[in-house]
Structure 1
Amino acid sequence: MLTVDFDKLGLLPGQRVLDLGCGAGRHAFELYRRGADVVAFDQDAAELENVATMFAAMEAEGEVPAGASATTLAGDALALPFPDEHFDCVIASEIMEHIPEDEKAMRELARVVKPGGRVVVTVPRWFPERVCWALSDEYHQVEGGHVRIYRAEELVGKLTDAGLRPAFQHHAHALHAPYWWLKCAVGTDDDQHPLVRLYHRFLVWDLMSAPRLTRTAERLLDPVLGKSLVVYLGKPGAARARA
Structure 2
Amino acid sequence: MAERAVIERMVANEADMAYRRRVITIFEWLDPQDDDRILDGGCGRGFYLKFIRHTCSAELAGAELDYPVIEVARATLNGEPGITLVNASLYGLPFPDGHFDKAILSEVLEHVPDDVAALECVRRVVRPGGLIAITVPNANYPFWWDPINKTLETAFNTHIQRGVLAGIWANHVRLYTPDELRSAVEGAGLEVLAERAFTHHSFPFIHNIVYGFGKTALEAGVLPQNVAAAADRFNVEGERGGALNPVNIGLRLFEWFDRRNVMDEPAGRATVNLCVLARVPTA
TM norm. shorter chain > 0.5? yes
Judging changes above 3 Å, is the alpha-carbon distance between structure 1 residues 174 and 207 closer, same or farther for their aligned structure 2 residues? farther
Judging changes above 3 Å, is the alpha-carbon distance between structure 1 residues 52 and 139 closer, same or farther for their aligned structure 2 residues? same
Q: Distance in 1 between matches of 2:149 and 2:53?
A: 35
> Matches of residues 1-243 of structure 1 in structure 2 within 5 Å?
1-2=19-20, 3-4=22-23, 5=25, 6-35=27-56, 36-56=58-78, 59=80, 69-128=82-141, 133-135=149-151, 139-140=160-161, 145-175=171-201, 178-180=204-206, 183=208, 204-205=247-248, 216-219=259-262, 222-223=265-266, 224-237=269-282
Judging changes above 3 Å, is the alpha-carbon distance between structure 1 residues 88 and 203 closer, same or farther for their aligned structure 2 residues? farther
Q: Shift of the alpha carbon at 1:129? A: 7.5
The unaligned stretches of length 5 or more in structure 1 are 60-67, 192-199, 239-243
Q: Which amino acid aligns with 1:79?
A: G
- Show the counterpart of 1:63: none
The unaligned stretches of length 5 or more in structure 2 are 1-18, 153-157, 215-230, 232-244
Q: Distance in 2 between matches of 1:7 and 1:53?
A: 28
1:84-125 per-residue CA deviation (whole Å, 9 max, x = no partner) reads 111101111111111111111011011111001000111001
Q: Distance in 1 between matches of 2:104 and 2:30?
A: 10
The CA RMSD over aligned residues, in Å, is: 3.7
Q: Distance in 2 between matches of 1:101 and 1:217?
A: 36
Q: Shift of the alpha carbon at 1:24? A: 2.1
1:42-65 per-residue CA deviation (whole Å, 9 max, x = no partner) reads 0112211221222236x4xxxxxx
Judging changes above 3 Å, is the alpha-carbon distance between structure 1 residues 16 and 226 closer, same or farther for their aligned structure 2 residues? same
TM-score normalised by length of structure 1: 0.73
Which deviates more, 79-88 or 129-138? 129-138
Maintained 8 Å contact 2:136/2:274: yes
Q: Shift of the alpha carbon at 1:76? A: 1.6
Q: Which amino acid aligns with 1:228?
A: N
Q: Distance in 2 between matches of 1:32 and 1:210?
A: 30
Which deviates more, 121-130 or 141-150? 141-150
Task: State, as a whole percentage, how many aligned pairs show the same letter.
Answer: 26
Maintained 8 Å contact 1:37/1:70: yes
Q: Which has the higher strand share?
A: 1
Q: Which amino acid aligns with 1:85?
A: G
Q: Shift of the alpha carbon at 1:173? A: 3.9
What secondary structure is seen at the aligned counterpart in 2 of 1:219? coil
Q: Shift of the alpha carbon at 1:175? A: 4.9
- Show the counterpart of 2:13: none
Q: Distance in 1 between matches of 2:203 and 2:272?
A: 5
What secondary structure is seen at the aligned counterpart in 1 of 2:32? coil
Q: Shift of the alpha carbon at 1:34? A: 2.6
Judging changes above 3 Å, is the alpha-carbon distance between structure 1 residues 176 and 10 closer, same or farther for their aligned structure 2 residues? same
Q: Distance in 1 between matches of 2:72 and 2:176?
A: 30
Q: Distance in 2 between matches of 1:205 and 1:19?
A: 29
Q: Distance in 1 between matches of 2:250 and 2:131?
A: 28
Q: Distance in 1 between matches of 2:250 and 2:28?
A: 18
Maintained 8 Å contact 2:197/2:271: yes
TM-score normalised by length of structure 2: 0.64
